[in-house]
Amino acid sequence: MDQEHRPPTVLSPQNIVTLGNLACGVGAILLAVAAVVENNPHRLYEGALWLVLATFLDAIDGKLARITGTASPLGAQLDSLADAVTFGVAPGVVAVTLVRMMGPELGIAIHPRLLVVAPVVYSCCAILRLARFNVDSEHEDLTKDHATFVGLPSPGAAGPPIALVLFYFGIADTKLFNVSAGAIAWVNAAIIYLIPILLLLLALLMVARVPYPHFFAWMMRSTRPVSTLAKFVVVFGILFLEPELALLAMSLIYVFIPMLRDLPAMARSIPPLLHKKKR
């Protein structure tokens, strides 16, 4: 009987979607390699778009499992392994490749060791975050969605570096306001300087105990269908208007608002810890 039930579990719709997520992550890494080999930085834009698609696939695989009633421990482990590659490795590779390729053109020299340390630390913390999540969720009901996460989830952490790569190439095409050539150069230089530091900060937030909401669960969580529909209309309307700018703004808001909101609680927890050490 076990053998009869195994194929439907492995070939369930959400597992196929999860493998699509993994394929997007591997594709983004290969596009980063192609960008260097072909000396074509715009390949990085394509790689970042693949990671945006992966984020969408990651958002729907769990929902698909619950809708079809095919949620399983195999699917949960497969999802974590796919996220480790797609959101733990690929964003750092794509973002740092942008720094290495475009930094010299802008006259920017980032410490070469920092360009190794930043993506490595980011990847290690992403995988630690996923491992901790698996342990914490071991006895949870797989048919129920998570309302919150402890620590920045890896897809959320991948958002800012992906969005910065897209915005680097997309700022020149912004139609919302006129951007001078000098402003474009200044913004691009700021992105190059920011990426390694941001990767390290995101790494810390992934292993911190800061509570983060489940974005797509929040989007779907409403007793009134009109309210849910309105959320999707607003989000997709903003994305359609200025996709690169909207993705950057939304990803930064998601990452930093919960962190800033939790700062008072973190500050209050420091004195008791110091008191315990003294004792």
38-76 pLDDT, tens digit per residue, is: 999 999 999 999 999 999 999 888 777 777 777 777 888
Give the model's confidence band at 3: pLDDT under 50 very low, under 70 low, under 90 confident, else very high: very low
pLDDT band (50, 70, 90) for residue 120: very high
- Structure tokens of 202? 């995101």
The parent domain of residue 272 ranges over: 2-278
Does residue 217 or residue 57 have the better pLDDT?
57
pLDDT at position 274 is: 47
CB 252 within 8 A of CB 160: yes
Number of domains in the chain: 1
At residue 173, the pLDDT reads: 79
- pLDDT band at 223, cuts 50/70/90? low
Kindly report the backbone phi and psi dihedral angles of residue 176, in degrees, each rounded to the nearest multiple of 5, phi listed first.
-70, -35
Average of per-residue pLDDT across 228-249: 78
Q: What is the pLDDT of residue 5?
A: 46
Q: What is the per-residue pLDDT for 10?
A: 65
pLDDT number for residue 21:
95
HSE at residue 99, side-chain half, CA atoms within 13 A, is 29
pLDDT of residue 272: 54
Asked if residue 104 has pLDDT above 60, the reply is: yes
Say if residue 277 is exposed, middle or buried (CB neighbours under 10 Å; 0-12, 13-18, 19+): exposed
Give percent above pLDDT 70 in the chain.
Answer: 81
Instruction: Compute the average pLDDT of residues 153-172.
Output: 94
Q: DSSP secondary-structure letter at 91?
A: H
Q: What is the pLDDT of residue 246?
A: 87
The number of helix segments (H) and strand segments (E) in the chain equals 11, 2
Q: Indicate if the pLDDT at residue 279 is higher than 50.
A: yes
Q: Please report the pLDDT score of residue 6 as a whole number.
A: 47
* pLDDT at position 278: 54
SS3 assignment, position 118: helix
Average pLDDT score over the chain: 84
Q: How many residues does the chain have?
A: 279
Within a 13 Å sphere around the CA of 98, how many CA atoms are in the beta-carbon half? 32
